[in-house]
Structure 1
Amino acid sequence: MTNTTTDPRPLYREALDWTTGLIAGVREDQLSAATPCTDFDVRTLLGHLVAAVERARIIGEGGDPFAGPTVVTGISDDGYAAAYRSAAHRMLPAWTDDRLDADVIAPWGTVSGRVAIWVYINEALVHGWDLATATGQPSETRPELAEAVLAVARHALPAEPRGGQMPFAAVVESLPTAGPTERLANWSGRKS
């Protein structure tokens, strides 16, 4: 079961900080590069990362999770890090103490706010790994953070079934040398 006692907000803040650093490290000549997430090239992935944080804010505020786009467009090539930072700055205050255990409506159903935040931490780390891998940046976050999210993901995102309503590819066997962030990405169907 998802950890029901840990406050996931500090972990989400840490995941957002890590991903912000990766976004800031993207060069303009890398924006059209492919990523391990086959749905996105680097530019589209950056827009999706911004949209995910915006969606987390909307959910935290009790709004409709489908009110915003899945990819934010119209951001200048050098503006993604600032847009992501700004989205995080607006999102974090939405997750007040009383929202953690309240039911919220997420794209995948009604869950506690705490569960929704764990899912968005997973999203930040897996897509951060995608971005780092695509742009040649260090792809491991703090091991304890990735291990905590991997433990939750293994329960919340079962290996079977995948595809259809479960928008993840089959689990990929991790290389013996894989760090915890890479293993988390593998659990989400990303190939090393």
Structure 2
Amino acid sequence: MSTMADPRPWLSGATEQLSTLVAEVRPAQLEAPTPCTEFDVRALLDHVVVMTGCYANLGAGETDAAAATPPPRNAGDREWAEVYAAEAARLNEAWADGAALDRKMSLPWGELPGREALLGCLLDTVTHSWDLARALGIEDDRLDEELAEKTLEVAREIMPAERRGRPTPFEPVRPVEPEAPAARRLAAWLGRWP
């Protein structure tokens, strides 16, 4: 697993970035497609809210991701920014105590210490930020390059190219220019067409 000693500062930056993007979503955009083909914007927002809530519950003491996963939120068209910001704040608060980093947690891909489990949240948050930005027509240069680069390092370590297909939800690595922004290279690594 990744050698990142403490993913919390990176995750805090990731949730801040995603909060900014969610605040830009307008009701007319909720049915727009995203690069994550199973989700339109509304479904993507619901997914990130539920996922963030799950990791907040894990940080707060739950040890099983299945039990920690809240039901879908299906927020009103104008409430997504508030709902996501609240879950992101709860996530960052729940993990403020460093003890959670060493607590064993059961996730679909195995039993891991919290610091390694939290990498899944980082990866999801940064990748879905790119998905949402792309769906909203926001250019890659608006995304945090250092955050995306660090997340790409993590993705390459924990999700190597040969680990694709069931049960992992990632398509094969897609071609992308080596000089492309890090968020685009991350998306391609995780099987999105950049």
Q: Under a length normalisation based on structure 2, what TM-score does the superposition of the two structures give?
A: 0.91
Amino acid at match of 1:65: A
Selected match of 1:186 from 185, 188, 191: 188
Q: From the superposition, tell whether residues 176 and 151 of structure 1 become closer, same or farther in structure 2 (CA, over 3 Å).
A: closer
Residue matched to 2:24: 25
Q: Is the 8 A contact 2:55 2:68 kept in 1?
A: no
Residue matched to 2:131: 130
Runs of 4 or more, structure 1, over 6 Å off, are none
Residue matched to 1:175: 177
Residue matched to 1:49: 48
Shift of 1:138: 2.9
Amino acid at match of 1:18: Q
Distance (Å, rounded) in 1 between the aligned partners of 2:8 and 2:69: 23
Residue matched to 1:156: 158
Residue matched to 1:75: 75
SS of the aligned residue for 2:67 comes to coil
Shift of 1:36: 0.5
For residues 118-148 of structure 1, the C-alpha deviation after alignment (integer angstroms, 9 at most, x for no partner) is: 2111100111100110111133522111111
Amino acid at match of 1:34: P
Amino acid at match of 1:41: D
* Between 41-50 and 105-114, the greater mean CA deviation after superposition: 105-114
* Between 135-144 and 23-32, the greater mean CA deviation after superposition: 135-144
Amino acid at match of 1:97: G
Q: Is the 8 A contact 1:102 1:113 kept in 2?
A: yes
SS of the aligned residue for 1:33 comes to coil
Amino acid at match of 1:90: R
SS of the aligned residue for 1:66 comes to helix
- Number of residue equivalences: 191
Shift of 1:58: 1.7
Shift of 1:61: 2.6
Distance (Å, rounded) in 2 between the aligned partners of 1:4 and 1:175: 26
Q: Is the 8 A contact 2:50 2:73 kept in 1?
A: no
Residue matched to 2:167: 165
Residue matched to 1:61: 60
Q: Is the 8 A contact 1:62 1:105 kept in 2?
A: no
Q: Is the 8 A contact 2:59 2:100 kept in 1?
A: yes
- The 5 A counterparts of 1:78-93 are 78-93=78-93
Q: Under a length normalisation based on structure 1, what TM-score does the superposition of the two structures give?
A: 0.92
Distance (Å, rounded) in 2 between the aligned partners of 1:10 and 1:158: 24
SS of the aligned residue for 1:67 comes to helix
Q: Is the 8 A contact 2:178 2:185 kept in 1?
A: no
> Where do 5+ consecutive residues of structure 1 fail to align?
none
Residue matched to 2:118: 117
Amino acid at match of 2:103: A
SS of the aligned residue for 2:170 comes to coil
> Where do 5+ consecutive residues of structure 2 fail to align?
none
